[in-house]
Amino acid sequence: MAGETILVLNGPNLNLLGVREPEIYGNETLAEIEEACLERCAELELRLDFRQSNHEGELVTWIQDARGNAAAIIINAAAFSHTSVAIHDALKFAELPVIEVHLSNIFKREPFRHASYISTVADGIICGLGSQGYLLALDALWRLLHGNDEET
């Protein structure tokens, strides 16, 4: 069965997805996004560890623990993307492939969302494609981990 573990981290308020602001973030709940990621991981023979926290320190601890336990990280740090040097430092320390995901196109929104502390430590960034961004990130990581010579 499943091979490498992909840690998918979700930051503050993403537990509210599907409940409010569907015009910005879509209709899907975070549980539905997790389910779609699980299905894609099954196809790619990856193991999924999908988490959400409203607490910066908890996200930092999970990133620290990923070193040696996960093969790569997908992170939507939500509002912490725009504020957290601590998450930036933890991702740097983890020395793992990192893909930053945002549901919305942060560059089409308020100027304070245009800068992300995650982007400078990420291998790739996907934004504006809704929940599809998580699935694209899984596909991209599979290729990063296995090279470009095999087709899925």
Footprint of ligand CA2 on this chain (CB under 6 A)? 13-14, 16-17, 19-21, 25, 76, 78-79, 81, 102-104, 106, 113
How do beta strands 72-76 and 124-127 pair?
unpaired
Nearest approach, Cβ of 150 to ligand CA2 (angstroms)? 30
Nearest approach, Cβ of 16 to ligand CA2 (angstroms)? 4
Whichever of 74 and 96 has its CB closer to ligand CA2, that residue is 74
Helix (H, G, I), strand (E, B) or coil at 95: coil
Nearest approach, Cβ of 135 to ligand CA2 (angstroms)? 14
Whichever of 113 and 146 has its CB closer to ligand CA2, that residue is 113
Nearest-5° Cα angle at 124, 49 to 41: 30
Residues with catalytic annotation?
A: 25, 102
**C-alpha neighbours within 13 Å on the C-beta side of residue 19:** 7
Whichever of 47 and 113 has its CB closer to ligand CA2, that residue is 113
With b for 16 or more beta-carbon neighbours within 10 A and e for fewer, the 113-140 pattern comes to beebbbeebbebbbbebbbebbbbbbeb
